[in-house]
Amino acid sequence: MSVNALPLQYARTTDGVNIAFFSSGEGRPIVFASNIFGDAHLYGLGWPHVRCITDKLCALGWRVLRHDHRGMGSSDRDVEDLRLDGRVRDLEAVVQVAGLPRFALVGTSIGAATAIAYAARHPGMVSQLVLLSPFASGAELFELPALRVATAARVNDDHEWSVVANVLGSVSTSFGDQGLGRQIAEAIQQGTSWSGLEAHQRASKEIALAGLLPHVRLPTLVIHEPAFPFGSFDQCRQVAAGIPGARLVIVGGRSIAGTAHDGHVAVIDRFLRAGRVDGYVSVDAGPTPDARAVPDGLTHREVQVRQQLSAGLRNKEIAATLGVAVPTIERHLSNLYAKIGARGRADATAYALRHGLDSPGG
């Protein structure tokens, strides 16, 4: 389906911005706060991850609404205010035009920030909140290796913009699928300009959610995806720890930027219907490891690595979760084994059981 063939509707924000959105399926409503490049735009272009989660949730009996936030896709492009407050106004306009009295709210990465801010301001409108790869600090988010690489370029003409878009596409797939990387690059170029993306990044770096998190008082699920290149376990845990009663789970599997594969569909559906997340690795989002007694002189990072081992993650997945390189994880494991007298993972697991470190939460 092309963007032009998508049955788009438009909502006008209180500051005069036209926001494109669509609704699909019948049943209880799920609203997705738009991620970067615009959810309606990406759905119309057939992006597998956006199309997958939308269509599968609709097949499970949900009504799904997705939009392009300001500056992206089919919404108004020439917009000065790209800050978080403006993105919340986009969501408010869509909800009002759609006539939704109450709904479940989902957001991925940049969209998760919008979802958090909206839920804090409109608690009576949101029944449940699902946050995929969220972050509490935009400044810290853009220090992640993948985002540093993806945003380091400077563009002077259309050819350079094409090169940068291809780099973004490759980074989004963790350099694992050239064809998909090119598809992502084309969607990026169709969805925005370099100047638009640069302005969006500047505004996103200013996002600071720590003060809003305690005001989100509704059932909340935080999903960390180790393979997601633009997120980190530490950021997810910080968000989950800041929202009263939030639950944090790890969903593994192949990923691209903003992915919502079968694992996401299943856990979202289960949580929204029954408040359950059984069958997934659940992480304690309470006191951080810094506040706990650390045995045998283990460093905070070594405890984190030990906890990820307990979750059954491999070295590459642990590295992605913690936002470091695989050799760094191998070095931490070597130091960890030496300190606890372990010969390998089996010994380390036995050690974890003895010291209460047998789950990611400690």
Q: Is the pLDDT of residue 87 over 90?
A: yes
DSSP-assigned letter for residue 77 = S
Parallel/antiparallel/unpaired status of strands 18-24 and 9-12 = antiparallel
Given pLDDT bands bounded at 50, 70 and 90, which one contains residue 174? low
Q: Is the pLDDT of residue 359 over 90?
A: no
| Euclidean distance between CA atoms 177 and 257, whole angstroms | 12
| Euclidean distance between CA atoms 289 and 133, whole angstroms | 20
Would you state the pLDDT for residue 75? 97
- Six-digit token pair at 181? 């990387």
Q: Is the pLDDT of residue 261 over 70?
A: no
| Ranges assigned E (strand) in 246-305 | 247-250, 281-283
Quick: pLDDT tens for 17-71.
999 999 999 999 999 999 988 999 989 988 777 888 899 999 999 999 999 999 9
Query: Could you give the percent of the chain with pLDDT greater than 70?
Result: 83
For residue 156, give every residue at least 6 positions away whose Cβ sits within 8 Å of its Cβ, in sequence order, or none.
none
Quick: pLDDT tens for 307-321.
777 666 778 878 777
- Does 153 or 255 have the greater pLDDT score? 153
Q: Is the pLDDT of residue 173 over 90?
A: no
- Which class is 300-355 in CATH? mainly alpha
Instruction: Indicate the domain borders of the chain.
Output: 9-282, 300-355
289-300 average pLDDT score: 57
Polymer length of the chain: 362
Residue-averaged pLDDT of the chain: 84
**CATH assignment of 9-282, given 3.40.190.10, 1.10.10.10, 3.40.640.10, 3.40.50.1820?**
3.40.50.1820
- Six-digit token pair at 76? 């108004």
- Which residue reads 């991850």 in tokens? 49
- Asked whether 173 and 107 are in contact (CB, 8 A), the reply is no
Would you state the pLDDT for residue 39? 93
Same fold? 9-282, 300-355: no
Would you state the pLDDT for residue 291? 40
| Euclidean distance between CA atoms 168 and 211, whole angstroms | 31
CA dihedral 162, 163, 168, 173 (to 10 degrees): 110
Would you state the pLDDT for residue 356? 53
| Euclidean distance between CA atoms 127 and 115, whole angstroms | 12
Would you state the pLDDT for residue 349? 61
Q: Is the pLDDT of residue 2 over 70?
A: no
| Euclidean distance between CA atoms 11 and 220, whole angstroms | 27
Given pLDDT bands bounded at 50, 70 and 90, which one contains residue 260? very low
| Euclidean distance between CA atoms 197 and 151, whole angstroms | 9
Quick check: helix, strand or coil at residue 238?
helix
- Six-digit token pair at 287? 């006191």
Centre a 10 Å sphere on the Cβ of residue 26 and count the other Cβ atoms it contains: 10
- Does 173 or 10 have the greater pLDDT score? 10
Would you state the pLDDT for residue 67? 97
Q: Which of 96-100, 135-139, 255-259 has the lowest mean pLDDT?
A: 255-259
- The most confident of the ranges 80-89, 324-333, 353-362 is 80-89
